[in-house]
Amino acid sequence: MEGVCVMNRKALVTAMALLLGSGALTACGGGGGGENQTGNQASAGAPAAANSDTLTVGLSADPPKLDPKLSTALVDRQVMINIYDTLFTIGPNNEIEPDLVEKYEVSQDGKTYTFHLRHGVKFQDGTPFNAAAVKFNIQRDQEKDSLQRSYLTPIVGIDTPDDYTVVLHLNKPYSPLLAILTDRPGMMVSPTAVQKEGDDFVNHPVGTGPYAFKERVKGDHVTLVKNPNYWQSGQPHFNTVTYKIFTDQNVEVANLQSGQVQMIDTIPAQQVATLSQNPNFTVINQPGFGFQGLYLNVKKAPFDNKYLREAVELGIDRKALVDTVFKGAASPGYTPFSQASSAYNQAQDTPPQPDPAKIKDLLAKGGKPNGFSFELQTAATPVTVQAAQVIQGMLSQYGIQVQIKQMEFGTVLDNATKHNFQASALGWSGRLDPDQNIYSWFHTDGSQNDEQYSNPTVDQLLDQARAQLDPQERAKTYSQVMDIIHDEAPYVFLYHQNNLIAYSKHLTGFEYRADGLLRLATVSAQ
């Protein structure tokens, strides 16, 4: 996510010296070691052929919560997308397609949706998937403790006239609804399993998906097994899928190269070119829907001061950050909407360049003419730490001292949810509909509003956009919202990172989507 002055040569050299001196490109953080988590030099030869019985997938973090109601992490979704089917899904050209819903109708006024469900689908515990289960799931996601509730507020009634028909009643037209049901709110959990497990369902998830949960050892692995009664004929192809957890993405790549894993969920930017040139692997490097940046806690000093938030926002040279850290695998950003979004506005997404005179004025207005310090919480992974250190070097030019606090990714998320931070390096993997990239982040009642921001005008505009059916009109409304967000700076947008995925040439059938999720039902070994 960029005045008259770009980051000068001396400052950029200083930032790079900080990086090299800190070892940011080597293993960072601890925990989560497993037998395959080795730092040994990977073999340059071809990886072993994939086992047709077992698929091993590398994950760049330990999934915190495997219950869609409580999940906020991308790494959760990487696993959950194979445990749970969704009511709707994303097609190869980013179109919305029915999934557990077979067909549907929408009333002329846009306030009634009728879903006709697939027959013969069962949850992995053997209980039937039906209209009652859909009603249970939607109502569960509307509960106060649900992190999905803000996506479903327009639904005010649910009828189930028979076992395979669900009628949703809305209080107003709601253009994002079907797209939202391709994501966590559309993931169907077993009502029986939820009632049996209670709060422990997060550790014993049950859905209708191609693979069923078997076990997890936190920090090491998650194991899924084939769902023998899966409704999609001929799928899935593996008997077992094991997700290995890696706290160092470089080690994750090394395990791919040595054949210990056959697919990885991300690639360090410095290794994209090397892997892309290796004929033993398929590499996907494509723009996604997401954004990355910094939460600024507007209820806690120093960021309860708007001028100090603005100083931080203006002091970061996004282009220099992206060029240094991501080597072409990301683009500078200034909004939650990437080029893949229908709400993308090139002029508005172009960041301003740092302006030393203006930053000095903002610091004076904020009562900190000589600068100030703040703590930045970040996951202890090489890329995120490297980005934080580049930002640290940039802001230090203006007397803004960044104290980087590295921690386990799940702890960063928990602290954000509890508002226990000054600044937090967290972003969003992005969604097909623009509402999902902005509403929950900046609406007063938004479930991702961890910065505790509130503005009645923003709330009104975000609600207005939800009811607008014309994408161009919605985009104009979102531009109005972003004018306010840029002025008040509760969140510092930094960049849009590409989806970076790699897998062995021995795998076939992987169907990539712009959400970057590893859907494994169609994947097999050849």
User: What tens digit of pLDDT does each residue of 461-473 get?
Assistant: 999 999 999 999 9
Phi-psi region of 430 (alpha: psi -120 to 50; beta: other; left: phi over 0): left
**What are the distances in angstroms from CA 504 to CA 77, 255, 256, 277, 306?**
22, 11, 8, 13, 49
- Pick from 379, 417, 375: nearest CA to 75: 379
CA distance 276 to 351: 30
Q: According to the model, what pLDDT value does residue 18 have?
A: 37
The Cα angle at residue 97 between residues 507 and 341, in degrees rounded to 5: 85
Q: Which residue ranges of the chain lie beneath pLDDT 50?
A: 1-45
Edge-to-edge strands, sheet with 155-162: 101-106, 112-117, 165-170, 155-162
Strands (E), 363-429: 372-379, 400-407, 423-425
Q: According to the model, what pLDDT value does residue 46 have?
A: 56
Q: According to the model, what pLDDT value does residue 76 have?
A: 97
DSSP 128: B
DSSP 291: B
List of domains in the chain: 9-26+289-497 (3.10.105.10), 54-67+75-80+196-287+503-525 (3.40.190.10), 84-191 (3.90.76.10)
Taking only the tens place, the pLDDT of each residue in 272-315 is 999 999 999 999 999 999 999 999 999 999 999 999 999 999 99
